[in-house]
């Protein structure tokens, strides 16, 4: 398979545009979303929607494979692992594009049989690219990376479609664990594209920008 290598800026713009088009991202300042943490915010992302839109899906997977090769190297990996659950389809599609074996990592051991966290073939000779749909603060990635490393394999890279880009400690947290993050776009890219398209009213865009600039402060003011 041949790849084109758009600039990171163009990949970010087009990825943000695609996510807006399929409504995988949304803004609502009047009725903020409640997150799994219980905190609220005016932004919401659901990358699982991508699998239902073939043209968007194909484009973003091409971008993710190209980004991994450009940033890490053409022969950097011997195995692609998807993180359960959302990372599994994306891991499979990236593995297909890179011509590599695919595995996946369970969140927890399955509790019977081999009690495995890794499904598929992986061993100490592998250099693994961990693929997921998104990352917020990088926390879930560390557990997956540790499970991969427990096999003896190396895992120093993770690639995601969407990175929040609003918690500055995320990349350092991963770096401290020996992991480099690769991503297509962030909330700042989505906001820029939403402004360019006038996809939301000015009041909503202003409130979203305030949230992105200081998410913890915004949440303290909007419990």
Q: Which of 158, 107, 83, 97 is nearest to 128 (CA)?
A: 158
Strands of the 154-163 sheet, one edge to the other: 118-119, 102-105, 79-83, 127-135, 154-163, 180-185
* Measured distance CA(83)–CA(91) in Å, rounded: 8
Q: How many structural domains compose the chain?
A: 1
- Do the domain assignments include residue 114? yes
Residue at 65 is within a domain: yes
pLDDT of 19: 98
- pLDDT confidence of residue 115: 66
CA distance readout (Å), 166 to 169, 185, 188, 207: 9, 12, 8, 15
CB contact at 8 A, 155 and 130: yes
Q: Is residue 173 a part of any domain in this protein?
A: yes
- At 186 the three-state DSSP class reads coil
pLDDT in tens, 117-137: 999 999 999 999 999 999 987
Question: 212 has which bridge partners?
Answer: none
DSSP of 23-64, one letter per residue? Answer: TSEEE-SSSPEEPTTS-EESEEE-GGGGGG-HHHHHHHHHHH
Domain of 159, CATH number, reads 3.40.50.2020
**Full residue range of the structural domain in which residue 139 is found:** 8-221
Within-domain flag for 209: yes
In-domain check, residue 3: no
Here the tokens at position 19 are: 């996510």
Q: What is the pLDDT of residue 85?
A: 93
- The answer to whether residue 88 is domain-embedded is yes
pLDDT < 50: residue spans in the chain: none
Q: What is the pLDDT of residue 208?
A: 97
d(CA 208, CA 76): 38
Q: Is residue 2 part of a domain?
A: no
68 domain residue, yes or no: yes
């Amino acid at each position: 398979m041949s790849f084109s290598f758009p600039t990171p800026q163009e990949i970010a713009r087009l990825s943000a545009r695609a996510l807006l088009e399929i409504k995988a991202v949304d803004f609502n300042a009047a009725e903020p979303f409640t997150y799994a943490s219980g905190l609220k915010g005016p932004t919401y992302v659901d990358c699982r929607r991508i699998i239902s839109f073939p043209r968007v899906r194909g484009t973003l997977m091409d971008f993710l494979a190209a980004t991994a090769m450009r940033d890490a190297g053409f022969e950097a990996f011997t195995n692609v692992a998807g993180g359960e659950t959302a990372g599994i389809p994306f891991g499979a599609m990236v593995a297909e594009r890179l011509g590599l074996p695919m595995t996946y990592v369970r969140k927890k051991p399955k509790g019977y049989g081999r009690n495995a966290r890794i499904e598929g073939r992986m061993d100490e000779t592998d250099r693994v690219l961990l693929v997921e749909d998104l990352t917020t603060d990088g926390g879930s990635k560390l557990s997956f990376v540790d499970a991969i490393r427990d096999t003896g394999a190396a895992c120093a890279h993770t690639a995601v479609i969407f990175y929040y880009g609003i918690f500055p400690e995320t990349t350092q947290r991963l770096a401290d664990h020996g992991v480099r993050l690769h991503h297509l776009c962030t909330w700042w890219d989505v906001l820029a594209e939403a402004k360019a398209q006038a996809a939301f009213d000015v009041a909503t865009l202003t409130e979203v920008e305030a949230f992105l600039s200081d998410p913890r402060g915004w949440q303290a003011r909007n419990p």
